[in-house]
Chains A and B, each alone.
Chain A
Amino acid sequence: MELTFYLAAAVAIIATILVVTQYNLIHALLYLVVSFMAIAVVFFTLGAPFMAALEIIIYAGAIVVLIIFVIMMLNLTHEDVQHEKEWLKPSVWIGPALLSLILLAELAYIFMASETSAVATQPVEAKAVGMALFGPYVLGVELSGMLLMAGIVGAYHLGRQKKKIVHRFLERTEA
């Protein structure tokens, strides 16, 4: 089980790095899907199969599909890939990369120095997740529900079109 965890974690890290470094947006998103699947496997090995399934259904299956949907509408060409190449010069990314490398070293040091708690051996079933969500965290669920509702109303407002009725010479729009 430990080996599968480290393998999945390594795949997740490599895939995520490739997401950033790919010039072609669709290829980058494909790596993002791989990264989500690797994270799902990590959840699975940590004893949270329900979260693993939701990770794939919601993140890999729905959200990235929507992002790809938008990118397909943008009609990317080879020129865009060239632009992307110009933007991602070493001089651009080397500074942030070095700085975050320091943070990574610190993080590694903290992990090495401190006692890490053992991984939960008891699998977290769907029922436990539901209990937690509608028990202690019910406020968070309600708040995210309100946020989503606001999003839906906003999307409806943006997407609403006036109905145009064309009848020979008469042309009018309905709200």
Chain B
Amino acid sequence: MEASAPNYFLIVGGVLFVMMNVAAGLIWVERRMLALWQDRYGPNRAGPFGLFIVLADTLKLLFKEDWIPPFADKVVFVLAPAIVMVTVLLSFVIIPFAPGIVVADLNIGILFFLAMSSMGAYSIILGGWASNNKYALLGAMRGAAQMISYEVFMGLALMGVVLLTGSFNLRDIVEAQRNMWFVVPQIIGFVIFFIAGVAETHRLPFDIPEAESELIAGFHSEYSGMKFGIFFVGEYLGITLISCMVVALYFGGWLGPAFLPPVVWFALKTFVFISIFILLRASLPRPRYDQLMEFGWKILLPLTLVNLLVTAAIVLMQNGNY
């Protein structure tokens, strides 16, 4: 499965190109879908189906005044949006989109993903702290607590799949699902991973670090222009990343009936989960902050531990060497 050098650069460039465009395109997809579910049109003026709203939005963000507050910590303020972009894009490195279409076939793939998602927390924390604004700081504190807690459940929920496969490599995990998708034996793990994924990307209903009705815009209150745009695109990249991970871990990745090529299967499944992310936003209210924490530590943590214990026991029994 070793790719030649030009092929390799093609894969790297292709993944980068597709992901950036998907992230930008999701702005339109989300607005149209929200509108559909709320019984209105949504953006429909610029271009066919209002598609050019993405272009217009990007141009607007690029030409807006990019203001760095004089009271902010300038270096950290500029660094913060870059961190989210870098960590999320680096996470895409380990995702196998199809046999042979993967940037780095790492043996510790899942751990790399977890490491990058835990580094992503810094962008919120540093962005909120560097803004030197009380609302931003409050958002950053909430974000830090939320992301650290939900990382725990995310990692533990994943371990069920790792136990069943016996590997941290995502390609092995997808291959192990030829007979049965892991969503069947790992249904609890899947649900918890998805909930933790929503919390990690701080999307509604878990957008407590931003919470515009109580904290203005939370950690990115002071950001404007393209720096805000990067936080924005980073969020959509995060949604895409979590959807890709869900597909690869629990829904058989590229596997599917042969009438469609593997990449198309992967993209279709991913799109379904992106839509679920958007539907969640359209339908669920935001919980209170302490409710979120309580839900995590008192319900999700015991559930993941039980899930892990039962899975380990079953795997041990099947192997017969207890």
Contacts and interface: CB of A to CB of B under 8 A. Distances in A.
Task: Tell me whether A and B are bound partners.
Answer: yes
Interface of A: 24, 26-27, 30, 33, 49-50, 52-54, 56-57, 60-62, 65-66, 68-69, 72-73, 125-126
A69 B151 contact: no
A61 B121 contact: yes
B108 A60 contact: no
A125 B107 contact: yes
Contacts of A27: 75-76
A69 B121 contact: no
A126 B75 CA distance: 38
Contact of A33 (B73, B122, B148, B168): B122
B125 interface: yes
Given A26-B76, A72-B137, A65 B115 contact: no
Contacts of B144: 65, 68-69, 72
Given A27-B75, A60-B115, A65-B122, 5 more contacts: A26-B129, A30-B76, A65-B144, A68-B125, A126-B108
B111 interface: yes
Contacts of A26: 73, 76, 126, 129
B119 A61 contact: yes
A60 B147 CA distance: 14
Interface residues of B, number: 27
B111 A65 contact: no
Interface of A is mostly: helix
Interface string B107-138: 11001101100110110011001000000010
Contact of A53 (B114, B141, B148): B114
Nearest to A58: B118
Contacts of A68: 125, 129, 144
B274 interface: no
Contacts of B118: 56-57, 60-62, 65
A65 B117 CA distance: 13
Contact of B115 (A24, A57, A69, A73): A57
B313 interface: no
B173 interface: no
Contacts of A33: 122
B174 to A, nearest CB: 19
Contacts of B108: 49-50, 52-53, 126
Contacts of B73: 24, 26
A56 to B, nearest CB: 4
Contacts of A72: 125, 129, 137, 140-141, 144
A54 B112 CA distance: 9
Interface string B35-57: 00000000000000000000000
B50 to A, nearest CB: 40
A171 B8 CA distance: 70
A65 B112 contact: no
A74 to B, nearest CB: 11
B119 A56 contact: yes
A168 B114 CA distance: 49
A28 B155 CA distance: 28
**Chain B CB within 10 Å, residue with most, of A52, A53, A66, A126:** A53
B309 interface: no
B76 A69 contact: no
A69 B144 CA distance: 7
B145 interface: yes
Q: Lowest 3 A-B CB distances belong to which pairs?
A: A61-B118, A53-B111, A56-B115
A125 to B, nearest CB: 7
Contacts of A50: 108, 111
A30 B141 CA distance: 17
Contacts of A69: 125, 141, 144-145
A54 B111 contact: yes
Contacts of B114: 53, 57, 61
A35 B108 CA distance: 21
Interface string B229-263: 00000000000000000000000000000000000
A65 B144 CA distance: 7
A26 B125 CA distance: 11
Contacts of A53: 108, 111-112, 114-115
Contacts of A66: 148
